[in-house]
Amino acid sequence: MKVTTEVLLVDDNPGDTDLIADVLERNDRPIHVHSVADGLEAMAFLHCEGKYANARPPRLIVLDLNMPRKGGQAVLAEVKSDPALLQIPIVVFSTSKARADIASSYQLGANSYVSKPGDLKGFVSAVTAIGDFWLDVTNVPWRKEQ
Amino acid sequence: MAPIERKSDSGHWHAVRGKAADMTTTGAVRASKVSLMAESKLKVLLVEDNPADGELILHELRRGGFDVEGEVVATAEAFRQRVKEGTPDLVLADYNLGQWRGMEALEILRRENLDIPLILVSGTLGDVTAVECIKQGATDYVLKNSLARLPESARRALKERKIRQGSRLAHEELAKKAEELARSNAELEQFAYVASHDLQEPLRMVANYTQLLAERYRGKLDDQADKFIHYAVDGAARMQTLIQDLMAFSRAGRQESNLKSTDCNEVVKQALRSLQVAVQESGAIVTSDDLPVVMASTGQLLQVFQNLIGNAIKFRSTEPPVIHIGKERKGIEWAFSVTDNGISIAPENREIVFAVFRRLHTHTEYSGNGIGLAICKRIVEQAGRKIWVEPQAAPGTTFKFTWPAIALETSA
């Protein structure tokens, strides 16, 4: 059986998460995309708490910034200051093009920042690029069976 | 008797007042003023080392109709403390005090930022010194041998201060209004920006998913479904450009702090580079005067030139566009012009063309949302200048706008 790779999507817009998952899973890429709607759920997933007791550490986190309860910046800060989690690449994927948002995301340790393009074509190609690079091109230090 | 009466009074003002008051307890003027509030008394601070002179001075003021409370200080330190704590209405200072001079009192008032009129009262005061004292900020000088002049001088000093305070109040009021206006403008801009930004999100969903629907299901439903989807996709796309235009408009109104020396020749060149495709497709010929260097946010000035030249190309007649960018010095400002040989604007539309989302043509005739000129107007007005359509006989159109003609010597 093929080992699937876990990808965590943190975004409160189901329209976006569906489309992102759809694009990332194209070409039979062996991944499982798990979507959560805010930062609190994301942290619960990463710490395997509650209903996420059996969650596996993701190979990539795709993170929106503007979310209810706990936003993307807070998630970034927590993950990147936790030795157990900080190696997980985080791609911030937000509609914001504000320089302040981009700068603070990188300062908090984001691995890259991509603005959500306003049109479908741009959106699909951006997600395709994220998947190609972070899931196929890059290496991660942890064991394969994870 | 008088000193005992005044014992109940608090503060430092009683020291001389008791004695000086004795001299004037008679007379109707004083009697009528006893019932007045304490604030109506004129608080006078005397800088004087001769108590007899001090009393004489107060006496003179009372004779002139003032209800006076007087206090005497003789040292600079005491003076500094009393002007701050006692806030006298008037300072009467002897010019020569032995250890220090009345002029130093002026310096102290200035340093403490106190607007209290000071009149120099002195036994001897040369003409040169008198002029010097007035220059330093003394309201007047009165010689001790002509003290009768003092009440009139005091009256004038107090009146002048009242006027000064009035104008300061008016000034503060104006500054407050300006600040309120700036704040409300900033809030409005922020609102427009946030509103359009937040509108984009749900709209992006509509646009994305109608497009996805079109891509995946075109031809799989019936003809009518395809048409419906097309309308939805088209409507969402148009709404998106409208919102983007609205955001551009709200950004254009933001006050720019990064003004720098900007060569308008370079700005026009850059505008033409951006419009390259349109210039080539239309076969436009664009000429320009030698343009000046002005202080501007380069990006904003570029937007103005680019929108005007872009319009000149877009709204062309059947002829290839011939466009000229001109300049004319008008006092403290430059008047720039963009003249074309395209379709002209009817006189009744010369104002309307600058309104937001105002279009004079259908989408099939000419594309666009009607934001370009509104943005130009906003930018030019932000710089405190004007933009207008020059009245002229057809054919063609001339847009003119002014810009401040201040340029730094050194380039930024």
Q: B207 vs A120: CB contact, 8 Å cut-off? A: yes
The strand pair at B397-404 and B387-389 is best described as antiparallel
Residue A93 CA to residue B22 CA, distance in Å, equals: 87
Please give the backbone phi and psi of residue A77, each rounded to the nearest 5 degrees, phi first: -60, -45
Report the pLDDT value the prediction gives residue B23, as an integer from 0 to 100: 42
Match 């910034």 to its residue by tokens. A65
Average pLDDT over residues A128-143: 89
The answer to whether B61 and B121 have CB atoms below 8 angstroms apart is no
Contact (CB<8Å) A13/B201:
yes
Closest by Cα among A93, A129, A118, A69 to B199: A118
How distant, in Å, are the alpha carbons of A137, B217, B229 from that of B222?
A: 43, 10, 11
Cβ pair B275, B340 in contact under 8 A: no
Max CA distance (Å), chain B: 114
Which residues lie below 8 Å from residue B156, measured CB to CB, with a gap of 6+?
B139, B140
SS3 at position A121: helix
pLDDT in tens, B92-116: 888 776 666 777 888 888 888 888 8
Cα four-point dihedral sign B92, B97, B102, B108? negative
Predicted local confidence at residue B52, as pLDDT:
84
| Number of residues in chain A | 146
| pLDDT greater than 70 at residue B30 | no
For the stretch A52-97, pLDDT in tens is 999 999 999 999 998 888 999 999 999 999 999 999 999 999 988 8
Q: Looking at the predicted structure, is the pLDDT value of residue B22 above 70? A: no
Q: Is the pLDDT of residue B69 over 90?
A: no
Average pLDDT over residues B203-217: 90
pLDDT confidence of residue A141: 83
pLDDT class of A24 with cuts at 50, 70, 90:
very high
Instruction: In whole angstroms, give the CA distance from residue B304 to residue B324.
Output: 15
CB A32 within 8 A of CB A56: no
CB nearest to A15's CB, from B200, B208, B211: B208
Averaged pLDDT of chain A: 91
Q: What is residue B75's predicted lDDT score, i.e. its pLDDT? A: 82
pLDDT higher for B305 or B221?
B305
Q: Closest Cα of chain A to B207: distance in Å?
A: 7
Which helix or strand (DSSP H or E) is residue B171 part of?
helix B150-217
Whether residue B267 has pLDDT greater than 80: yes
Tell me the average pLDDT across B192-210. 83
Instruction: Return the pLDDT at B5.
Output: 39
Q: Do B208 and A95 touch (CB under 8 A)?
A: no
In A, which residues are within 8 Å of B233 by CB distance?
none
B338 versus B48: which is more confidently predicted?
Answer: B338
Please give the residue that has the higher pLDDT: either B93 or A107.
Answer: A107
| Bridge partners of residue B388, in order along the sequence | B400
DSSP string, B312-346: HHHT--SSPPEEEEEEEEETTEEEEEEEESS----
Q: How many residues does chain B have?
A: 412
Strand partners, B329: B334
How high is the pLDDT of residue B190? 78
Partner residue opposite B209 with nearest CB, options A15, A118, A119: A15
* Environment class of B396 (CB within 10 Å of its CB; exposed 0-12, middle 13-18, buried 19+): buried
Q: Tens digit of pLDDT for each residue in A109-119?
A: 999 999 999 88
Subunit contact A118:B211, Cβ cutoff 8 A: no
From the list A95, A116, A120, the residue facing B212 with the nearest CB is: A120
Q: How far apart are CA B407 and CA B292, in angstroms?
A: 9
Residue A144, pLDDT score: 53
Of B108, B86, B104, the C-alpha closest to B95 is B104
Examine residue B395 and say whether the peptide bond preceding it is cis (omega within 30 degrees of 0).
yes
Of residues B56 and A47, the one with the higher pLDDT is A47
Instruction: Name the strands in the sheet holding B42-47, side by side, starting at the edge strand that comes first in the sequence.
Output: B68-73, B42-47, B90-94, B118-122, B140-143
Q: Does B250 or B314 have the greater pLDDT score?
A: B314
Q: Rounded to whole angstroms, how far apart are CA atoms B26 and B32?
A: 11
In this prediction, residues B390-412 reach a mean pLDDT of 77
CA-nearest of B334, B327, B339 to B286 is B339
**Top mean-pLDDT range of A102-106, B112-116, B198-202:** A102-106
Residue type (1 letter), B201: E
| A90 DSSP 8-state letter | E
Judged against a pLDDT cut of 80, whether residue B138 lies above it is answered with yes
Q: C-alpha A4: how far from its chain's center?
A: 16
Buried-state track A17-27, b at ≥16 Cβ within 10 A, e below 16 = bbbbbebbeee
- Residue A115 contacts B where some CB pair is shorter than 8 Å: no
